Structure formats: C-alpha cells, structure tokens
C-alpha cells in the first residue's frame, strides 16, 4: 500500500491548478497541494536565473507514480520540468489507504 509524493514546479499558479485538476480527474493523484510562491535560482542556457514560481506536491499510489510523472512531463509548459517522486516510508495508515483508493477505484459520474 505504498504511496508516493511527486514534487513539481510551475511558472504560474494557473498552470499548477490546471495540472492538479487533470491529475485528480484522471485518477493519477488522490490530492495535490500547491505552494503558490517560491523563488528558484538555477542556470539555464548558461545564464543564472532567479524566478518566481509555484510548486506542487502530488499524492499518489505506487502503481500510478510513473504514469503521473509521464503525464506531467508531457503536459508541462517547461522544456525540462523539475519532476521528482519520493516514496513515503511511513505515515498515517488511513491516509495511505485513502490515497490508494482514490487512485484505483472508479469514480461515480
């Protein structure tokens, strides 16, 4: 019943909200959390950049983690999106069960 958290950054809040909604609707995530304002410093095309971004934590099941990552990469506006997945080694068992249920059972329409 292992779950994963996926961390990803976005250039704006609108894109993050849209991606979060798509992930949940497609059952690739049980839930997403958006941190609306972060500052990222990095080198891109030999230039040091500092940009305002937002970040998102995607909560998903082990069985959907790779598919969720592929979806994020394919739909993301960045050429090289920062997407990383972290297995959750321990946590509230009812929460882990809920994440797995949300990403594996059929939704009523």
| pLDDT on residue 50 | 97
| pLDDT on residue 1 | 77
Q: For residue range 92-102, list pLDDT tens digits in order.
A: 999 999 999 99
Do residues 85 and 4 make contact, with C-beta atoms less than 8 angstroms apart? yes
| pLDDT on residue 106 | 64
Alpha-carbon Rg for the chain in angstroms: 15
The Cα 103–Cα 31 span in angstroms is 10
Cite the DSSP H helix spans in 1-109: 13-25, 62-75, 93-104
Task: List the domains of the chain with CATH numbers.
Answer: 3-104 (3.30.70.120)
| pLDDT on residue 104 | 87
The Cα 109–Cα 104 span in angstroms is 15
| pLDDT on residue 109 | 44
| pLDDT on residue 82 | 93
pTM for this one? 0.91
Q: For residue range 11-63, list pLDDT tens digits in order.
A: 999 999 999 999 999 999 999 999 999 999 999 899 999 999 999 999 999 99
């Amino acid at each position: 019943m292992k779950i994963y958290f996926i961390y990803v950054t976005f250039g704006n809040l609108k894109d993050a909200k849209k991606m979060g909604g798509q992930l949940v609707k497609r059952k690739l995530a049980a839930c997403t959390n958006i941190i609306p304002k972060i500052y990222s410093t990095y080198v891109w095309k030999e230039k040091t950049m500092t940009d305002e971004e937002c970040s998102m934590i995607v909560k998903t099941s082990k069985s959907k983690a790779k598919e969720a990552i592929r979806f994020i990469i394919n739909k993301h506006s960045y050429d090289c999106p920062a997407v990383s997945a972290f297995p959750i080694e321990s946590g509230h068992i009812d929460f882990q069960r809920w994440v797995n249920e949300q990403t594996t059972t059929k939704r009523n329409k």
